[in-house]
Amino acid sequence: MAPVPAPGRPHRDHAVTVTAAGLAACGLRLDIAGEVATVTLSRPERRNAMTPAMWHGLAAIGADLPPPVRVVVVRGAGPSFCAGIDLRMFSAEGVPGEAPPPRPADPGFEGWIAGCQEGYLWLRDPGIVSVAAVQGHAIGAGFQLALACDLRILSDDAKLCMKEPALGLVPDLTGTKPLVDIVGLPRAIEMCLTARTVPAEEASRLGLAELLVPAADLDAAVADLTAALLETDAGTARATKRLLAQAAANTLEQQAAAERRAQAALQRERLARS
C-alpha cells in the first residue's frame, strides 16, 4: 500500500522531466538564453488552461534552473496569457492523461495542493527576478501565476479575474498574499468576491502592473526590462531582492540591521573574490 503523505506535505502525482518533450507533454516550453529563462504556457488552443501536470512541470523547471539564470520571464502563447484551471478537471471524464485529483476528504488533499503550489512559489526565489508578460485573459490560476511573479508587464488588452470564488473555490495557488499586499484588503475582497474582470488600465492603476504597454509592444517591453535588470551586478541584485523581500515583515530597526548585515556580507564576499 502506498504511504499516506502527512497532511500539508507537498506531493506530486506527475514526475516531469525538464526536457523539451517532457515539458511539451504538460503544455510548457522552456527557452534559456544565458542569464534569461523564458517559460511559455504552450496550449493556446485551450487558452493555456492549466492542469496539475502543468503545475508540476513549472515546479520541475524551478528546481532545475541553471545557476546563471537571473531573470525568468513567464508568458502565454496565443491570445490569452492563461484561462486558469482546465475546467475538464471538474468533469467526470477529467483531462486525458491526468491523474484525478484526490478527494477533499483524503488525508493527502492539502499535500496535493502544496505540490501544485510549488509550481508558483519558486518564482519568488531571491536568486531570480521573475516577470510575467500578460496579454489577453489571466483568469483564476492564470491570474495567480502572474501574481506569483515579482513584476508584471500588462498589454493594454489584458483582463485579470480571480474567478475561483464564483466556482465555489478559494484562490489557493499562492495568489492571495501578493494580491492583498499590492491592492490592499478591501480591494482584494471586492475583486475576489465579485470575481469581476479587471481591465488592464484599472489593473495598472491598482499597482498590478509595473508597465502597461500597447499589445504590439509587449515583446519589446519584456526585452527592455530584461536588459535593464541584467545591467545590475548579479550578486548585488540577489542581495538587494533578499533585503527588500523582508522589509514588510520587519520593524524599521530590524530592517536597518538587515541592511547592515547584507552590505557587510556583500562587500566581504566581493573582497574575498578580488
Residues 21, 23: Cα–Cα separation, whole Å: 5
Residues 264, 252: Cα–Cα separation, whole Å: 18
Residues 200, 212: Cα–Cα separation, whole Å: 7
CA distances to 12, 24, 36, 112 from 16, rounded to whole Å, are 10, 10, 21, 15
CB 61 within 8 A of CB 69: no
Task: Tell me how far, at minimum, the Cβ of 127 lies from ligand CAA, in Å.
Answer: 26
Q: Which is nearer to ligand CAA, 2 or 170 (CB)?
A: 170
Q: Which is nearer to ligand CAA, 14 or 163 (CB)?
A: 163
- Can you tell me which of 30, 42, 55, 86 binds ligand CAA, judged by CB under 6 A? 86
Task: Tell me how far, at minimum, the Cβ of 192 lies from ligand CAA, in Å.
Answer: 11
Contact string (CB under 6 A) for ligand CAA, positions 29-58, x = contact: -----------------xx-x---------
Task: Tell me how far, at minimum, the Cβ of 8 lies from ligand CAA, in Å.
Answer: 18
CA distances to 49, 144, 196 from 42, rounded to whole Å, are 9, 17, 26
Contact string (CB under 6 A) for ligand CAA, positions 66-85, x = contact: -------------xx--xxx
Q: Which residues pair with 133 in a beta bridge?
A: 153
The binding site for ligand CAA (CB under 6 A) comprises 46-47, 49, 79-80, 83-88, 137, 139-141, 163-164, 167, 169, 173
